Amino acid sequence: MAIVNENGNFVKRGEKGELIARGYSVMSGYWNDEEKTKEVIGKDRWYHTGDVASMNPDGSIKISGRYKDMIIRGGENLYPTEIEQFIFKHSAVADAQVVGVPDEIMGEELCAWIRLKPGTVCTAEELTEFLRNKVSVYNCFDKL
């Protein structure tokens, strides 16, 4: 397994990129679908998973999202799964979903759907403040 950037070059540990895999246990292709196989398996036999990942110093891999789910906000790549994980850390949050919505200025903007745990109260301002120093894209939540 390895992690590569958009140019197919290996990235340093700790940097994000696409998780790729190669080996005897990796699929050889999609059944009766040559085109789909060519989309995900290169001539070098690396399988491109579509997962956004980084490799930890110990060699373990952290998956932080999917490229298809990536939101591009003003040229910045945002990963809904990663943002949701921070939202879940708030004690009042039972469920959260982050999606991209069209925006004329930024291209896409974040939209967060949040369900609170029964009996809890949390305002948009409180959640924004909670995220302010934990998520690098905290300013995206100014419109909660």
Nearest one of 62, 26, 31 to 45, comparing CA atoms: 26
Does residue 62 sit in helix, strand or coil? strand
Please state the domain count of the chain. Answer: 2
* Whether residue 43 is found in the same domain as residue 86: no
Structural contact between residues 137 and 76, judged by C-beta atoms closer than 8 angstroms:
yes
Over the stretch 85-141, which tens digit does the pLDDT of each residue have?
Answer: 889 999 999 999 988 888 999 888 888 899 999 999 999 899 888 888 777 654 555
* Host domain of residue 13: 2-64
In CATH, what number is assigned to the domain containing residue 14? 2.30.38.10
Over the stretch 33-90, which tens digit does the pLDDT of each residue have?
Answer: 999 999 999 999 999 998 999 999 999 999 888 877 888 888 888 888 888 888 999 9
In CATH, what number is assigned to the domain containing residue 98? 3.30.300.30
Nearest one of 92, 94, 83, 69 to 140, comparing CA atoms: 83
For residue 31, pLDDT beyond 70: yes
* Whether residue 93 is found in the same domain as residue 119: yes
pLDDT score recorded for residue 114: 93
Structure tokens at 77: 């790549």
Give the domain-ending residue among 11, 29, 64: 64
* Whether residue 48 is found in the same domain as residue 90: no
